[in-house]
Amino acid sequence: MGFRRHGPFHVGDQVQLTDPKNKRHTITLKEDGVFHTHKGAIPHSDLIGQPEGSVVRSSGGTQYLAFRHLLQDYTLAMPRGAAVIYPKDASMIVGMADVFPGARVIEAGVGSGALTCFLLRAVGPDGHVTSYERRQDFADVARKNVQNFYGGPMDDTWRLVVGDLNDSIDEADVDRVILDMLAPWECVDAAAKALTPGGVICCYVATTTQMSKTVEVIRDHGCFTEPHAWETLVRDWHVEGLAVRPDHRMIGHTGFLVSARRMADGVTPPPRRRRPKGTTEEL
């Protein structure tokens, strides 16, 4: 299994440099490398051998704080073949779909590999992730991004399949199925066949039309509990002494999530009970 280095910086490490205005730069350390900026140059040798959290000074006198990437930083800075799932949504998928250490997970629509990195970390060395991607060019970018983050191949815990999930799936009794694609409803039946009873399907979609279609297909399939649809909004806060206020900008809509649980074979879901329109229930 690949791994991420700890301790002092080494040649080949990706390092994030942050200036006093919180502008971030990513460099890959080389023996004779030099990071050039309009604020001066920083030889890579000034970083090699230094611990994380060190401060280096450019030739122009600007100080930079040096750390290895957090996963959330890496996914936003990674090269992209397709749009990445934002860390706020990837975190919700891992948490709300209950992706646990040792889980067997199927992911369809690998994109640039951002969610894959989160899933591999969640399942750990005893789990396994199989990723299906229709496009070879996206798969190539994703493989490189995952290997760059984890420091090497992930052959023990990750399998990347180029092909359509419906045509290529060869697994059963998996714990979680994550669908990140334009039409996840097309793969609901394949997900139902692959999931173990109690397993979770979680779909990531961009529009309300996609969300509605996904919910209805899962609801009508007959093998799943009532689907749950939601989105996550993230707002930073400015805190300077007693000057406390919400930031002027926020990460608003990026996508919708739809999840449901696989029921046992042959079980019919209880009929949904809805409050009749125009009436109120007694408190």
In a domain, 238, yes or no: yes
Q: Is the pLDDT of residue 283 over 50?
A: no
| 59-102 residue pLDDT tens | 999 999 999 988 888 888 888 877 788 899 999 999 999 999 99
In a domain, 123, yes or no: yes
Domain finish residue from 68, 97, 131: 68
Is 37 in the same domain as 114? no
In a domain, 282, yes or no: no
Domain finish residue from 48, 68, 88: 68
pTM of the model: 0.85
Q: How many domains does the structure of the chain reveal?
A: 2
In a domain, 84, yes or no: yes
Is 19 in the same domain as 114? no
Q: Is the pLDDT of residue 48 over 80?
A: yes
Share of the chain above pLDDT 90, in %: 70
Is 77 in the same domain as 123? yes
Closest CA to 20 of 61, 54, 65, 53: 65
